[in-house]
Amino acid sequence: MPFPTVVLESAANGIPEIRDRENVMIARDRTEFIEKTIYLLEHPSEAREIGVRGRQMLEEHYNWDYWEDKLNRTLEACSRVKKKGAVN
């Protein structure tokens, strides 16, 4: 079973796909982090749904197959540029 996640706003800045109360809980500070964690513990059905949607978002946007292909294409492009600029 996927677990819901509570993150601080600063952690959410680099992940544009996350949405508060949809696929993660975003807290502004320590106090809100604790409040949202307690809320999830008190609402297990909603917590489960947030966890499922969070996992779906990660699998859709951040799975290794997608990034492996993108990384390989980038490395190949860099390799071609380096070969063109090589001095013999």
The domains of the chain are located at 6-84
Residue 34: the pLDDT is 98
Residue 86: the pLDDT is 61
Type of residue found at 66: Y
**12: number of Cβ within 10 Å:** 15
- Both tokens of residue 71? 């990384």
For residue 70, name the pLDDT band (cuts at 50, 70, 90): confident
Coil, strand, or helix at residue 16? coil
What is the pTM (predicted TM-score) of this model? 0.73
Whether pLDDT at 75 is above 70 = yes
**Distance (Å, whole) CA 5 – CA 3:** 6
Whether pLDDT at 87 is above 70 = no
**Distance (Å, whole) CA 75 – CA 77:** 5
